[in-house]
Amino acid sequence: MDFYARFRDEDDASWEKLWLDYAAVPTSRDDLPRFPPAEVQQRLHGTTFERAMSGGLALRHFTLRFVRQGLHTHVVPEMKILDFGCGWGRLVRTFLKDFHTQNIFATDVDREVIELARTLLPQIHFKVNDAHAPLDDPDGSFDIVVANSVFSHLSEPNYAFWIEELTRVLKPGGALVFTTWGQGLLDMAKRVFETGEREFAWQRNIVNGFSSWEDMHARFSAGHFVFAGTGGGKYLPPEDFGIAMVPRPWFEQHAEGLVLRDLLDDPQQFSQAVFFAQKT
């Protein structure tokens, strides 16, 4: 089944409403892929159903706007897109009306969640990637690579490896869109350190991983890569995974083969900072 053929005529507003309505009542449609259990959604990204899909739809919007306006490139269904760190496939669902289904690829280090994703959406190319090995995709395979809430967790060596690898599989001139922590984490951490109140369970890692808000702020403002290794389950040990912040100057100093075209770091628009880069 090519979902693109079914939904290509939906305008963006209708497409977003369609997903939010479906997420509010997951039994209301049978022409869209099912959702995983709420506890799986909560474990992977701290939100469920409507709120989860709202975040995915926002990143889709920013990604396609960057391709069209930032790179002056038409978005066509023949383009190939990779969702790196895809989880259960929340983000790829939002692109089903934009690209032919066979051109949407997704990968994650978590074998169990990939098996679940394949069950829910078997038409997509879901694959398991190793934590420290190259992807099996040839050089220049994808027009667009998106990584949502992956580089907000990776250690500096892990970050360097995967930025280089995603650049390799991206076509020359292609778009890399990824999120990492920025002002949103600083705002959140300030409240956690001052009040001890936490909206999400994972926020305990802020006080476990950092000595103070002032230290986080000073390191980030000075342009240093900021990382606290907290771990994330059996596939993600503390030396690789935790809480990471990537300042713009640090990225630009280390982004070999990429040019940063834009950066959105406004928690009112998106909780994490969104980097928009192009392969040279």
User: Residue 203's pLDDT is what?
Assistant: 92
Is the predicted pLDDT of residue 46 greater than 90, yes or no? no
pLDDT digits (tens, 9 = 90+) for 206-250: 999 999 999 999 999 999 999 999 988 788 899 999 999 999 999
Confidence of residue 14 (pLDDT cuts 50, 70, 90): very high
Q: Are 103 and 134 in contact (CB under 8 A)?
A: no
User: Residue 236's pLDDT is what?
Assistant: 84
Candidates 46, 45, 22, 44; CA nearest to 34 is 22
| Residue 81 covered by a domain | yes
Give the residue-averaged pLDDT of 40-61: 95
Q: Are 184 and 276 in contact (CB under 8 A)?
A: no
User: Residue 45's pLDDT is what?
Assistant: 87
| Residue 26 covered by a domain | yes
| Residue 245 covered by a domain | no
The CATH number given to whatever domain includes residue 75 is 3.40.50
Q: Are 216 and 224 in contact (CB under 8 A)?
A: no
Q: Is the dihedral of CA 215, 217, 221, 226 positive or negative?
A: positive
* Domain span including residue 108: 3-155+171-180
**Residues 6 or more apart in contact with residue 22 via CB below 8 angstroms:** 28, 29, 32
The amino acid that residue 266 corresponds to is D
Residue recorded with tokens 């306006």: 69
Question: How would you list the strands of the sheet with 142-147, edge to edge?
Answer: 125-128, 104-108, 81-84, 142-147, 170-180, 273-279, 258-264
| Residue 46 covered by a domain | yes
Q: How far is CA 50 from CA 43, 125, 179, in A?
A: 15, 25, 20
| Residue 98 covered by a domain | yes
Confidence of residue 167 (pLDDT cuts 50, 70, 90): very high
pLDDT digits (tens, 9 = 90+) for 58-113: 999 999 999 999 999 999 999 999 999 999 999 999 999 999 999 999 999 999 99
| Residue 145 covered by a domain | yes
| Residue 147 covered by a domain | yes
Confidence of residue 202 (pLDDT cuts 50, 70, 90): confident
Instruction: Tally the domains of the chain.
Output: 1
| Residue 49 covered by a domain | yes
